[in-house]
């Protein structure tokens, strides 16, 4: 008879076992959903972080290129300003008749009245 009592399980225990099994199963389902949500959140976060890093690196490269271009243009501006100053000085000199006569004699072999020019080949 004792053996029969061990094998006999009251009907209430089946319900508790089913409830425990259901609770365990629902907990596992919740864990699966939580893991899925975390995975989706992780993928979303990684996508945002990677896209931000790519954007920042591109912007940094553009800024560096613009700085180099600015330095190059600054040097060119300095060179053009010195050329402008030389040309302004040349304009002032060209307003002087003696300077124009000197250039004409040097470059075009013009002479003063009474002068004779002897071209010498080099």
> Looking at the domain assignment, is residue 96 inside a domain?
yes
Kindly state whether residue 116 falls inside one of the protein's structural domains. no
> Residue 104 has what pLDDT?
85
The answer to whether position 6 is within a domain reads no
Is 122 a member of any domain? no
Per-residue pLDDT of the chain (122 residues; tens, 9 = 90+): 455 555 555 555 555 566 666 677 777 888 899 999 999 999 999 999 999 999 999 999 999 999 999 999 999 999 999 999 999 999 999 999 889 888 888 888 777 778 777 777 76
pLDDT for residue 18: 62
Q: What is the per-residue pLDDT for 20?
A: 65
Q: In this structure, is residue 70 part of a structural domain?
A: yes
The domain total for the chain is: 1
DSSP the chain: -HHHHHH---HHHHHHHHHHHHHHHHHHHHHHHHHHHHHHHHHHHHHHHHHHHHHHHHHHHHHHHHHHHHHHHHHHHHHHHHHHHHHHHHHHHHTSHHHHHHHHHHHH----TT--------
Q: What is the pTM of this model?
A: 0.49
Domain assignment present for residue 5? The answer is no
Q: Domain limits at 16?
A: 12-108
């Amino acid at each position: 008879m004792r053996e029969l009592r061990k094998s006999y399980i009251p009907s209430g225990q089946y319900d508790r076992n089913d409830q425990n099994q259901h609770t365990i199963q629902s907990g596992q389902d919740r864990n699966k959903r939580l893991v899925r949500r975390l995975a989706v959140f992780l993928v979303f976060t990684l996508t945002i972080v990677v896209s931000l890093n790519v954007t920042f690196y591109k912007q940094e490269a553009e800024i560096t290129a613009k700085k180099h271009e600015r330095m190059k243009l600054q040097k060119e501006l300095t060179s053009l300003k010195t050329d402008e100053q030389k040309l302004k000085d040349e304009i002032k000199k060209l307003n002087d008749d003696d300077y124009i006569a000197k250039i004409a004699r040097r470059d075009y072999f013009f002479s003063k009245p009474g002068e004779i020019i002897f071209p010498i080949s080099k």
